[in-house]
Amino acid sequence: MARVFITGSSDGIGLHAAQRLIEKGHRVTLHARNEDRAADTRSAAPGAEEVLIADLRSISAIKQLADDANATGTFDAIIHNAGIGYGGTSSRETTSDGISAVFSVNTLAPYILTCLMEKPKSRILFMSSDSHYGGDETLKKCTTSHSYGNSKLHDVMLANAFARRWSDVQSVSMHPGWVRTKMGGAAPGTTDEPAKVLAEWAVGEGSMAKLPSGAFFTTSGQEQAHSGAGNVQKQEELLSICKEVSGVEVSTTLSTMSKETYGFATKKGVDWSKYTQFRPAYPKSYFDDIFNYHSRKPEAGLSVVHDVGAGAGIASAGLAQRFDKVIVSDPNEVYVSAARQNLIQESGLPESQFVFLKETAEASSVEAGSVDFITACESILYTDVAVAFEEFHRQLRPGGTFMVSYYTRPPILGNETAAQAWNSLFQILSGKTERHASPGCGSC
């Protein structure tokens, strides 16, 4: 039987989904805003394992709720269902924390709980709405905005942000439909269908449980979300805003991850303490040369660099000295977390300067035409080169640069003319290459 946690479950869709789960023998922990509502919830769902109490308009109460939830054990599924700001729950309240109550309940609460609660074993859902299509993806003054649509766009962005971080958890968002609840008022629909879909999804049943992580869906199936929800830079900006307001950040330490960590090949383990200790460093001259080459171009920009196959972020640290924003991507979740730890926690670089992505070189979420410089340090050989090059071309701005580097001279196979030209070029540049290769990296 599954263990499920549902916020905002004292009435409406949350309660009705919980009742369905309890009827099937699942262990459900519910949430109510105050003791009176908790008493009503216990009466309506007597089989609930727990009914936790927290007013999500308070940051301290949200943090306490995370502690209380963790005390009950790890959940298989978490449903961030609590919400206000529409219909009978419309609000223009500013909380004692100095933020909009709508932002606190709809955006900040799911963020804090996701950061502080134990990661669910299987899935997590951020309840959104079709109102998110009218949301403002610029995030301007979002902490004081009373806009329901803005907050529901935030929920889709949060689902996408955690989908990128957690490869082993399905992170999704949902529009339940316009139904008769305290929020929906005299809507034409009932809670039956969304409660059914939600309950099935929570235990891995039904078609929604098979959707890709990051999906936005309705009771009918997956739908295309607001285009701004997929903007990775804006997702990261929202996380930074939530961190600044709450003092809570997404956990990045390796201790929170699976003990079974992987290196270059998914079947071979890596001792990370030894890897970062003995991996060759890049000399200052390495970055000087590539920066000087790039900056000679009339259209060259110095805003965004993408370190592809970044591993533990060793090259990213040097790139951060030259570019305003560094996108750090790798298909391996452990590498991405190690890079975040090395760059921010240990090196002390500002988190706002980085975007961390768990993704392949061949299928990147980076916006087209948004990158000034792309580097693949010791990683291009792990890609489908033809597909990856098309992807790099898509990302680069006019005047952009793509650079590949290796520890040694890589051979060219299957093209004799190219191999001869390459060998001749290497001989011409060999003095320069050896100077780089001695500390640990050759550039070409």
On whether both 124 and 208 belong to a single domain, the answer is yes
The sign of the dihedral angle between the CA atoms of 294, 299, 404, 411 is: negative
Interstrand relation of 325-330 and 304-308 (parallel, antiparallel or unpaired): parallel
Is position 116 within any domain? Answer: yes
> What is this structure's pTM?
0.62
Are 220 and 294 within one domain? no
Facing residues of 29 across strands? 5, 50
226/316 same-domain check: no
292 and 243 fall within a common domain: no
Q: What strand order describes the sheet that includes 304-308? A: 354-358, 325-330, 304-308, 371-377, 396-406, 442-443
CATH of the domain at 90: 3.40.50.720
Q: What is the maximum alpha-carbon separation in the chain?
A: 82
**Among the listed residues 22, 119, 112, 123, the one whose alpha carbon sits nearest the alpha carbon of residue 65:** 112
**Does one domain contain both 126 and 210?**
yes
Q: Lowest mean pLDDT: which of 161-165, 189-193, 208-212? A: 189-193
186 and 112 assigned to the same domain: yes
* pLDDT score of 420: 83
- Domain end point (choices 406, 423, 439): 406
Does 434 map to a domain? no
pLDDT band at 253 (very low <50, low <70, confident <90, very high): very low
Catalytic positions: 148, 152
More confident residue, 409 or 403: 403
Q: How far apart are CA 431 and CA 416, in angstroms?
A: 24
Residue 273 contacts by C-beta under 8 Å, 6 or more apart in sequence? none
Inform me whether the pLDDT recorded for 402 exceeds 90.
Answer: yes
Are 21 and 158 in a shared domain? yes
3-class secondary structure per residue, the chain? CCEEEECCCCCHHHHHHHHHHHHCCCEEEEEECCHHHHHHHHHHCCCCCEEEECCCCCHHHHHHHHHHHHHCCCCCEEEECCCCCCHHHCCCCECCCCCEHHHHHHHHHHHHHHHHCCCCCCEEEEECCHHHHHCCCCCCCCCCCCCHHHHHHHHHHHHHHHHHHCCCCEEEEECCCCECCCCCCCCCECCHHHHHHHHHHHCCCCHHHHCCCCCEEECCEEECCCHHHHCHHHHHHHHHHHHHHHCCCCCCCHHHCCCCCCCCCCCCCCCHHHHHHHCCCCCHHHHHHHHHHHHCCCCCCCCEEEEECCCCCHHHHHHCCCCCEEEEEECCHHHHHHHHHHHHHHCCCCHHHEEEEECCCCCCCCCCCCEEEEEEECCHHHCCHHHHHHHHHHHEEEEEEEEEEECCCCCCCCCHHHHHHHHHHHHHHHHHHHHHHCCCCEEC
Residues 205 and 64 in one domain: yes
* CATH number for 316: 3.40.50.150
**Mean pLDDT of all residues in 94-119:** 97
Helix axis angle, 109-116 relative to 232-246, nearest 10°? 80
Q: Provide the 10 A C-beta neighbour count for residue 176.
A: 27
Q: Is 420 inside a domain boundary?
A: no
Tell me the residue range of the domain where 318 lies. 272-406
Is the residue at 76 inside a domain? yes
Could you identify the residue written with the tokens 């098979």?
A: 210
Q: Residues 242, 276: one domain?
A: no
pLDDT confidence of residue 264: 38
For residue 226, name the pLDDT band (cuts at 50, 70, 90): very high
Residue 173 inside a domain? The answer is: yes
pLDDT in tens, 349-396: 888 899 999 999 999 999 999 999 999 988 887 888 889 999 999 999
Examine residue 338 and state whether it is found in any structural domain, yes or no: yes
If pLDDT is split at 50, 70 and 90, which confidence band does 189 have?
A: low
Q: How far is it, in rounded angstroms, from Cα 83 to Cα 179?
A: 14
Query: What's the domain count of the chain?
Result: 2
Give the tens place of pLDDT for each residue, 64-91: 999 999 999 999 999 999 999 877 677 8
Nearest to 158 by CA among 127, 203, 202: 127
Count of CB atoms within 10 A of residue 384's CB? Answer: 12
Mean pLDDT of 39-55: 97
- Average pLDDT in the 200-211 region? 95
Same domain? 80 vs 48: yes
d(CA 361, CA 45) in angstroms, rounded, equals 48
Task: Kindly state whether residue 28 falls inside one of the protein's structural domains.
Answer: yes
Q: By the 8 A CB rule, do 158 and 111 touch?
A: yes
Q: Which of 188, 219, 250 is the last residue of a domain?
A: 250
Last residue of a domain, one of 196, 217, 250: 250
Residue 437: pLDDT above 60? no
Tokens of 87: 């219909």
Q: pLDDT at position 406, please?
A: 74
Asked if 74 and 182 sit in the same domain, the reply is yes
Provide mean pLDDT across the span 258-276: 42
Q: Could you tell me which of 316, 314, 326, 307 has the C-alpha nearest to residue 272? A: 314
Contact in structure between 99 and 108 (CB atoms under 8 Å): yes
Residue labelled with tokens 């990051």: 214
Q: Is position 415 within any domain? A: no
Whether residue 200 is found in the same domain as residue 119: yes
